[in-house]
């Protein structure tokens, strides 16, 4: 009888990485509101619909994007980015709500013994405040912010960092995302991806890269998990 170790399964799913804004928590409209208010006060003719151009980007990249098109005098990019975050954090902790199905998906990941992380383009202080405000402050083994990465999404850095913190190979991770930039980041990281776009993003070509596209997290049932691959469910032997 051979005593050699069983070969690793490349299709095994070991971890799940969640975006935050617009995916777990309904905060995207609040970001749009804050950007319009803060940048509008600086003379940027920004309307709600235009904020979709920068959805999923790190806040400093968003501010720089608009400064390059409508340069203003006075506060610099860093100062304006801080102002945007301050406004949206106050809005999010007061008015942010969990998206339908968010709690069930997090619980399903735990039932499958999957490591769980949040990886967001938002600043860490904001992420922690919002998670705490919706009762998810202790729900994740890892929380990563793109503010410590050289680039925000669609660069895969924040997802790769989350996987490294979890101790899981990127190929064994699945990312849940709502933004086109996040889907690109997940697939660039060689991870599986479940996209949950809003109506306006559903027809974006980036969504075609996702392994699954859902209208809501409430659609994430056992058949969807099975399509993503086997997972190390507690109490059950993994068949090799």
Cβ partners under 8 Å of residue 72, min gap 6: 42, 43, 44
Instruction: Name the active-site residue from 21, 178, 201, 211.
Output: 21
Question: How would you classify residue 201: left for phi > 0, otherwise alpha for psi between -120 and 50, otherwise beta?
Answer: alpha
Give how far the C-alpha of residue 109 lies from the chain's centroid of Cα atoms, to the nearest Å.
16
Residue 11 tokens read as 């299709």
Active-site residue identified among 19, 178, 201, 211: 19
In angstroms, the CA 171 to CA 35 distance is 35
19 classed as catalytic: yes
21 is catalytic: yes
d(CA 240, CA 229): 13
Grouping H, G, I as helix, E, B as strand and the rest as coil, residue 177 is strand
Q: What is the H or E stretch that residue 212 is in? A: strand 212-213
Buried b (16+ CB within 10 A) or exposed e, 73-83: eeeebeebbbb
Burial of 37 (C-beta count, 10 Å sphere; 0-12/13-18/19+): middle
**Burial, 48: exposed, middle or buried (Cβ in 10 Å; 0-12, 13-18, 19+)?**
exposed
Cβ within 8 Å of residue 78, ≥6 positions away: 60
Catalytic residues: 19, 21
């Amino acid at each position: 009888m051979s005593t050699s170790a069983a070969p690793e399964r490349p299709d095994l799913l070991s971890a799940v990485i969640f975006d935050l804004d617009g995916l777990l928590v309904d905060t995207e409209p609040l970001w749009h509101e804050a950007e319009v208010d803060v940048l509008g006060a600086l003379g940027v003719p920004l309307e709600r619909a235009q904020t979709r151009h920068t959805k999923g980007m790190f806040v400093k990249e968003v501010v720089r994007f608009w400064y390059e098109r409508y340069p203003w005098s006075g506060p610099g990019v860093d100062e304006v980015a801080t102002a945007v975050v301050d406004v949206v954090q106050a809005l999010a902790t007061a008015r942010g709500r969990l998206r339908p199905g968010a709690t069930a998906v997090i619980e399903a990941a735990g039932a499958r013994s999957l490591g769980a992380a949040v990886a967001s383009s938002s600043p860490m202080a904001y992420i922690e405040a919002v998670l705490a405000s919706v009762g998810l402050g202790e729900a994740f083994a890892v929380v990563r912010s793109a503010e410590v990465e050289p680039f925000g999404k669609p660069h895969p850095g924040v997802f790769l960092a989350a996987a490294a913190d979890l101790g899981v190979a990127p190929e064994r991770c699945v990312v849940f995302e709502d933004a086109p930039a996040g889907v690109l980041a997940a697939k660039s990281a060689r991870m599986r991806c479940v996209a949950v776009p809003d109506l306006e993003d559903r027809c974006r070509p980036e969504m075609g890269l996702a392994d699954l596209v859902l209208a809501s997290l409430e659609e994430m049932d056992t058949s969807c998990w099975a399509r993503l691959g086997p997972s190390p469910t507690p109490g059950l032997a993994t068949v090799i």
